[in-house]
Amino acid sequence: MPKRTVPGPLQKLLKFDEKITEKFCLFANKFLPFRELRIHHKTLEITCHGLAWLAGWLAFIYLLSSSKLYEMQVNFLIGLVIDIILVAVIKAYTRRRRPAGNVPDMFMTVGVDNYSFPSGHASRVTFIALFFITLYPLPIFCVPPLLAWVTSLCVSRILLKRHHILDVFGGIILGVFETFILSLLWLSPETCADILSFLSDTDIVDTGM
């Protein structure tokens, strides 16, 4: 791809973002044992990997067939696909490099994963949390763990030097946008059952869960 000219004001914003990100990492590492925590950051990374979620969710749909779950399963899958597509398109367009100091050891990366903006993990974890808080609410006691997951994962993306701070905030905003889009596209239980029946090329067998 040809190299693009970045407008002056945007260049200044990106440089400022790089400096603030570096200062944040240096400050945090004064209080946190980074080497010991790296394994935890890596674990958090895997918990919100796009391909892992996509494969796991398809397996969930296949293994747990229940009319009570069709609406949630299909709508969540649609949101997940929207997230993966939007992140890939935006990354391919912006092509922002990852921060200096990033170790290229991320699990199952493909082409556009080499770029930094927006953070796909941040958008995905935000979407997942908002899905189960607003669109398909789980019991209230599930909310604190979801919010803790969002916070810890977003911070870990910066401390791992996978992303700049602006990348993470961009991902969060994208996750909110995806949730809003899905709320407009939300499919009824009947439509979801029809989709699953069509995709499986057979009648859906309700396991009665």
In a domain, residue 2? The reply is no
Q: What is the pLDDT of residue 167?
A: 95
CA 150 → CA 46, 96, 99, 123, 140, distances in Å? 13, 23, 21, 10, 16
3 occurs within a structural domain = no
d(CA 89, CA 67): 34
Report yes or no on 172 lying in a domain.
yes
| Element containing residue 58 per DSSP (H, E) | helix 50-63
Q: Which amino acid is at 81?
A: V
In a domain, 173, yes or no: yes
Q: Confirm whether 127 is domain-assigned.
A: yes
37 lies in some domain: yes
Chain position carrying tokens 């791809």:
1
Number of domains composing the chain: 1
pTM: 0.87
pLDDT tens for each residue of 124-172: 999 999 999 999 999 999 999 999 999 999 998 998 888 999 999 999 9
**Distance in angstroms (rounded) separating the CA atoms of residues 188 and 123:** 25
Q: Look at residue 135 in the predicted model and tell me its pLDDT.
A: 96
Write out pLDDT tens, residues 30-70. 776 656 676 677 778 888 888 889 999 999 998 887 889 99
Distances 125 to 16, 29, 39, 70, 145 between C-alpha atoms, Å: 26, 24, 19, 22, 12
The pLDDT tens digits of the residues spanning 106-119 come to: 665 666 778 889 99
Whether 150 is covered by a domain: the verdict is yes
Q: Find the domain containing 181 and state its range.
A: 8-200
Which CATH number does the domain housing residue 28 bear?
1.20.144
Active-site residues: which are they? 121, 163
